[in-house]
Structure 1
Amino acid sequence: MPNLEWSDALALDLPAMDDTHREFVDLLAQVENAADHALLAHWRVLLDHTDEHFGREDRWMQDTRFSSSNCHSVQHKVVLQVMREGLAGGEAGKLGMLRDMARELGLWFPQHAQTMDAALALHLRGIGYDPVTGVVAMPAALPRDIIHGCGGASCTDTQAPAATAQAA
């Protein structure tokens, strides 16, 4: 039985994002349920999907001034790197590593979707961004400056200069 199943709690009211997330959950379940002989092939499909999924979200952030250098994008990079390391381990016969990673992805994903992706979805809806065409229906609603951090008041880099000055 898969560790993660699609539910309304994961829906973010942005069809392009929700469809991709549903596919991620389904592909992760296929990895978790795969027999040893098929595990690596399912992992590759999940990795390819996740790479496209994260790339698309990163592009949306960049296109709408939701900084591509924020912690959301950084998390995407880290997860993809770990998944690639898992692929290398799986290719070396360490199938248990892939199974552990799949289990961890199932634990990580809801938190990511309900926090970082939810903030991005709110931002995209707020500016009338069409993820399919890339058109911003309300360009006046775009932030004047690039949003740093995760886009929330509790995750910004506004305190970084002071911390850097103190460290010097």
Structure 2
Amino acid sequence: MATLQWSEELALDLPRMDETHQEFVQLLQAVQAADDAGLPAAWQALVEHTAEHFAQEDRWMQATQFAAGNCHSLQHQAVLNIMREGGAQGDLRVLRTMAEELTVWFPQHTDSMDAALAAHLRRVGFDPATGVVHQPAALPAEPIHGCGGACSSGEAEAEREAEAAPA
């Protein structure tokens, strides 16, 4: 079974996000290292952390003009629902399989959706500790609906279409 290790490749240069991600990796490692007797409690700790982790990022998105139904938030909801349902089944094999899948999913999610969110938060001068946006003029005019690295409000697409249109 592959074990996810924290590395600088997962760091996004946003300290609060990086700390939360390190905690996620540590809890996932604890799940993978748990014996059968300790697995349900380790899984529950991971689920509880993940619920707050995702809620925290969702609050940051809402504070900085992400649409409520953006792909990032929807992925959070889907992954958390699967984690909760898997834990409710009580099947240890299911939990171990899900933990292994999370070792694949998490770096991909971090490298795409979280990296785009971190860049957006830095661009608008968002302070995760206080919730203050220090550069409100940098907030997008329209809520962001994009997925992964496509964190745009549609303005970039509109500009490209306008440039491509015949004069």
Q: Give the TM-score band, short-chain normalised.
A: 0.7 to 0.9
Counterpart position of 2:123: 126
Once the two structures are TM-superposed, the CA of residue 156 in structure 1 deviates from its matched residue by 7.7
Q: Alpha-carbon deviations, 1:40-78, whole Å to 9, x = none?
A: 000000000000000000010011002231110010000
Structure 2 stretches lacking a partner, 5+ long: 156-167
Q: How many residues align structurally?
A: 155
CA RMSD of aligned residues (A): 1.9
Counterpart position of 1:164: none
In the alignment, the residues of structure 2 paired with residue 130 and residue 77 of structure 1 have an alpha-carbon distance, to the nearest angstrom, of 24
Q: Give, as a single letter, the amino acid of the residue that structure 2 aligns with 1:87.
A: G
Matches within 5 A, 1:80-95: 80-90=80-90, 94-95=91-92
In the alignment, the residues of structure 2 paired with residue 156 and residue 122 of structure 1 have an alpha-carbon distance, to the nearest angstrom, of 14
The TM-score, its normalising length taken from structure 1, stands at 0.87
Counterpart position of 1:35: 35
Note if contact 1:2-1:33 (Cα within 8 Å) is conserved in structure 2: no
Counterpart position of 1:44: 44
Matches within 5 A, 1:141-160: 141-150=138-147, 152-153=149-150
The TM-score, its normalising length taken from structure 2, stands at 0.87
1:136 aligns with 2:133: yes
Q: 1:87 to 1:155 in 2, by over 3 A?
A: farther
* Aligned sequence identity (%): 60
Once the two structures are TM-superposed, the CA of residue 153 in structure 1 deviates from its matched residue by 4.4
1:100 to 82, 97, 100: 97
